[in-house]
Amino acid sequence: MDSFLMTCLLIIVPVVTINGYSTGAPKGACKNLMPNHEGAVAQTTTSPYSISVSSTTYKPGETITVTVKGELFKGLILQARSSSDDTTPIGTFTIPSTNTKTTKCTSDSDTWTHSNSTNKREGSANWTAPSTNMGDITFRATIVQTKLKFWTNHEKAVSAQSGLRYGVWILFVGLLTVAMVVCN
Ligand SMILES: *[C@@H]1O[C@H](CO)[C@@H](O)[C@H](O)[C@H]1NC(C)=O
Ligand SMILES: *[C@@H]1O[C@H](CO)[C@@H](O)[C@H](O)[C@H]1NC(C)=O
């Protein structure tokens, strides 16, 4: 390895480690939602945190309030994933609560994370669904209590409700059945 590269690594590595992502989850966490803190592994005990939503169904373009609470926490990374593609975050987050922010993994504001490592008792943000039907979704999150203590795999399912379309379909099948019975 040449000495320039070596020097760069020696400078960059400690800076990243010391910083500990206090201003939000790093890019590397976009897919697996792992904080990748040096020497930290996910807790296997039951998480003290939970995700709650203002509605367990949604329609395209609708907004849901997502809340994270439990014990005090320093950091989080939370996204909505469609059940047909569990790798790409969908929708957009707005009005992140104090000491949290929205960030971009694939598209603008598709991820909600902390902006500062101050202990938070509770956090919330609004999530707006894409305008096209993405089917059922799941909010997925990793929540960081301290640099070495975090829980992954927080999930909250929200099902797609294509209300009008189903209604029209049921009406159509109903009328067809009546027509078949009457005409026979
Ligand atoms: C946040 O979402 C809720 C629905 O959960 C909605 O009533 C409220 O108007 C939204 N707030 C903003 C600022 O968009
Ligand atoms: C985080 O931001 C708040 C203001 O929103 C500030 O009071 C606090 O000192 C900050 N904490 C850290 C660890 O930077």
Residue 99 in domain: yes
The total of other beta-carbon atoms located within 10 Å of residue 49's CB is 21
Band of the pLDDT at 7, cuts 50, 70, 90?
A: very low
- DSSP 3-state helix, strand, coil percentages of the chain (rounded to 5)? 25, 40, 40
pLDDT reported for residue 135: 95
pLDDT tens by residue, 84-114: 888 999 999 999 999 999 999 999 999 999 9
pLDDT tens by residue, 23-48: 888 888 898 898 877 778 899 999 99
Residue 36 in domain: yes
Which of 56, 124, 126, 156 for a ligand 1 pocket mutation test, highest count of atoms within 8 Å of Cβ? 126
Q: Is the dihedral of CA 38, 41, 47, 51 positive or negative?
A: positive
CA–centroid distance, 10 to ligand 1, in Å, is 46
Residue 175 in domain: no
pLDDT tens by residue, 157-180: 999 986 565 666 677 787 888 888
Residue 13 in domain: no
Q: Quick one: 24 exposed, middle or buried, by C-beta within 10 A (0-12, 13-18, 19+)?
A: buried
Mean pLDDT of 58-68: 97
* Domains of the chain: total: 1
The total of other beta-carbon atoms located within 10 Å of residue 163's CB is 10
Q: Is the dihedral of CA 174, 177, 182, 183 positive or negative?
A: positive
Q: What is the CATH number of the domain that holds 72?
A: 2.60.40.4060
Burial 107-145, CB ≥16 within 10 A → b, else e:
eebbbbbbbebeebeebbbbbbbbeeebeebbbbbbbbb
pLDDT reported for residue 150: 95
Residue 9 has pLDDT above 60, yes or no: no
Range with lowest mean pLDDT among 13-17, 63-67, 98-102: 13-17
Separation in Å, CA 174 to CA 169, 181, 182: 8, 11, 12
| Atom 1 of ligand 2, nearest CA residue | 116
CA–centroid distance, 113 to ligand 2, in Å, is 15
Residue 54 in domain: yes
Residue 182 in domain: no
Residue 142 in domain: yes
**Domain around 108:** 22-163
98 CA: nearest ligand 2 atom = 5
- Tell me how far apart the alpha carbons of residues 88 and 10 are, in angstroms, rounded to a whole number: 33
Which of 53, 63, 112 for a ligand 1 pocket mutation test, highest count of atoms within 8 Å of Cβ? 63
What residue has token string 């969908």? 90
Q: Is the C-beta atom of 64 inside 6 A of ligand 1?
A: yes
Considering 21-30, 120-129, 154-163, the range whose residues carry the highest mean pLDDT is 120-129
Residue 47 in domain: yes
Residue 66 identity (one-letter amino acid): V
* Residue percentage of the chain with pLDDT more than 70: 85
pLDDT reported for residue 17: 37
Considering 18-22, 39-43, 149-153, the range whose residues carry the highest mean pLDDT is 149-153
